[in-house]
């Protein structure tokens, strides 16, 4: 075979053509076709991701409307929220007249005045018992659920501040503070809970009485005592009493909050929470229409055909346009929720009719089963591509 020792004109080779062809090959991506397919797959995956997210939103909205409590919910309003508020936990619709006679309070007791917060008291053992005082505050009945608690006050920790810290660290059912003003400092104790049964009694076993040790009254915290009290009042004329200002057992499903003593009865109205229902219906329609605009549900013809269901839905203001979009007539919906029309009969029937629509549309919107065709790609192919994409 003849060899070529030169690439000059005498070699007979078209060097310029060879170089041009080589450069063209070098500048072209080696796998442009595969990359194009990958881009198409990525676009398909992005579309499927958006579809999945939109479908999840739709099914969540549908699920909320399929729950009985979504339609049975009620809302409580007060004619004087500064005095009494109410919170409904699906309480039956009704009206209540509430009077507040007294508020629940915690017992507060203080010592006599000392020169300052660092002043020393006597030493010994301080006892605290939780329970109830008689109306005259003369006798005390211990709460068996709260055993007597004690702290030892020694010569190096008998200042008001140190005693305060020891009481608070012991978890004795009271909170201790030191309050100081121009007259001096006082140790103040307050029950951690309100109510007449959550009062407390303080006593001491003084080891070294001296001029700085409080007298018997001071040692027993019986100076400047504010007694613990229960909340009292009436609901529709029936007397109620509570250890707290939150009354949650007077009416089933309804909680009253006493804020202050009332000058006159407060009106509490419990009615259907139509605003909550309307919002849930609008959220459902919005998510359905978003899904419909993406081409899902694939079949909405059943919802468009004249039927008892579509007629009942029309009575509450729901209809479908020619493009399958769900429309809401707010005026008709508000009327249906406040006074259900004769064709529906009651709010529970309205919920049943709407539930049929929810179930039908949710069924139509379910995604294709594994292996079904999705824009030319099966779910298995897309899964394989995702694996290849992640490994690359």
Rounded Cα distance between 382 and 44, Å, is 9
Residue 347 main-chain phi, psi, to 5 deg: -65, -35
State the Cα–Cα distance between residues 35 and 369, nearest whole angstrom: 28
Alpha-carbon gap, residue 197 to 46, rounded angstroms:
64
Task: Tokens for 47, please give them.
Answer: 């579309």
Along the 392 residues of the chain, how does pLDDT read in single tens digits? 454 444 444 445 444 553 444 444 445 455 455 556 555 556 555 666 777 777 778 778 777 776 766 677 789 999 999 999 999 988 988 999 999 999 999 999 988 889 999 988 888 888 899 999 998 888 999 988 888 889 998 888 889 999 999 999 998 999 999 999 999 999 999 999 999 999 999 888 754 443 333 333 444 344 567 899 999 999 999 999 999 999 999 999 999 999 999 999 999 999 888 888 888 888 888 888 887 787 655 444 444 455 666 676 777 788 888 777 888 888 888 887 776 444 334 445 555 556 666 666 655 555 544 444 444 433 443 344 344 344 44
pLDDT at 88: 93
DSSP state of 367: P
Four-residue CA torsion sign, 206, 209, 211, 212: negative
CB 189 within 8 A of CB 176: yes
Q: Count how many Cα atoms sit within 13 Å of the Cα of residue 247 in the half-sphere of its side chain.
A: 25
Contact 90, 73 (CB under 8 A): yes
- Position 221 scores a pLDDT of 42
**What does the alpha-carbon distance between residue 244 and residue 259 come to, in Å, rounded to a whole number?**
11
pLDDT at 308: 64
C-alpha 271/C-alpha 250 separation (Å) is: 18
Which residue(s) pair with 34 in the sheet? none
Q: What's residue 357's pLDDT? A: 63
| Cα gap 208→155, rounded to integer Å | 10
User: According to the model, what pLDDT value does residue 205 have?
Assistant: 79
Q: Quick one: which of 346, 290, 339, 289 has its CA closest to 318?
A: 289
- pLDDT value, residue 307: 62
Task: Say what the pTM is.
Answer: 0.62
| Residues found in the chain | 392
Q: What is the 3-state secondary structure (H, E, C) of the chain?
A: CCCCCCCCHHHCCCHHHHHHHHHHHHHCCCCHHHHHHHHHHHHHHHHHHHHHHHHHHHHHHHHHHHCHHHHHCEEEEECCCCCEEEEECCCCCEEEEEEEEECCECCEEECCCECCCCCECCCEEEEEEEEEECCCCCCEEECCCCCCEEEEECCCCCEHHHHHHHHHHHCCCEEEEEEEECCEEEEEEEECCCCHHHEEEEEEEECCCCCCCCCHHHHCCCEEEECCECEEEEECCEEEEECCCEEEEEECCEEEEECCCCCCCEEEEEEECHHHHHHHHHHHHHHHHHHHHCCCCCCCHHHHCCCHHHHHHHHCCEEECCCCCEEECHHHHHHHHHCCCCCCCCHHHHHHHHHHHHHHHHHHCCCCCCCCEECCEEHHHHHHHHHHHHHC
pLDDT of residue 57: 81
Q: For residue 47, what pLDDT is reported?
A: 64
Give bridge partners of residue 247 from the DSSP assignment: 256
């Amino acid at each position: 075979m003849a060899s070529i020792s030169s690439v000059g004109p005498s070699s007979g080779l078209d060097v310029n053509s060879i170089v041009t062809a080589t450069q063209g090959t070098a500048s072209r991506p080696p796998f442009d076709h595969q990359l194009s397919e990958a881009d198409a797959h990525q676009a398909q995956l992005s579309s499927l991701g958006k579809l999945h997210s939109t479908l999840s939103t739709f099914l969540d909205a549908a699920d909320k409307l399929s729950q009985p409590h979504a339609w049975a919910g009620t809302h409580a309003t007060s004619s004087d929220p500064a005095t009494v508020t109410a919170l409904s936990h699906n309480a039956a619709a009704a009206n209540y007249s509430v009077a507040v006679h007294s508020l629940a309070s915690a017992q507060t007791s203080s010592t006599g005045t000392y020169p300052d917060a660092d002043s020393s008291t006597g030493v010994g053992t301080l006892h605290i018992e939780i329970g109830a005082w008689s109306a005259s505050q003369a006798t005390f009945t211990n709460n068996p659920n709260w055993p007597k608690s004690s702290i030892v006050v020694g010569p190096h920790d008998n200042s008001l501040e140190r005693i305060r810290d020891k009481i608070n660290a012991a978890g004795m059912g009271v909170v201790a503070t030191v309050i100081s003003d121009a007259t001096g400092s006082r140790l103040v104790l307050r029950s951690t809970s309100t109510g007449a049964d959550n009062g407390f009694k303080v006593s001491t076993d003084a080891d070294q009485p001296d001029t700085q040790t409080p007298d018997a009254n001071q040692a027993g915290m019986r100076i400047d005592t504010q007694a613990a009290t229960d909340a009292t009042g009436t609901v529709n004329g029936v007397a109620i009493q509570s250890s707290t200002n939150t009354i949650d057992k007077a009416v089933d499903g309804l909680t009253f909050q006493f804020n202050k003593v009332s000058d006159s009865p407060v009106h509490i109205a419990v009615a259907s929470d139509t605003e909550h229902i309307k919002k849930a219906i609008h959220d459902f329609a919005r998510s359905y229409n978003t899904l419909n605009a993406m081409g899902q549900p694939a079949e909405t013809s059943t919802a468009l055909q004249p039927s008892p269901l579509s007629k009942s839905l029309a009575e509450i203001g729901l209809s479908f346009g020619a493009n399958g979009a769900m429309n809401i007539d707010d005026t008709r919906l508000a009327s249906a929720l406040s006074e259900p029309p004769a064709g529906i009969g009651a709010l529970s029937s309205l919920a049943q009719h709407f539930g049929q629509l929810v179930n039908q549309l949710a069924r139509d919107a379910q995604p294709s089963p594994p292996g079904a065709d999705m824009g030319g790609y099966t779910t298995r192919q897309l899964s394989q591509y995702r694996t290849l994409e992640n490994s690359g």
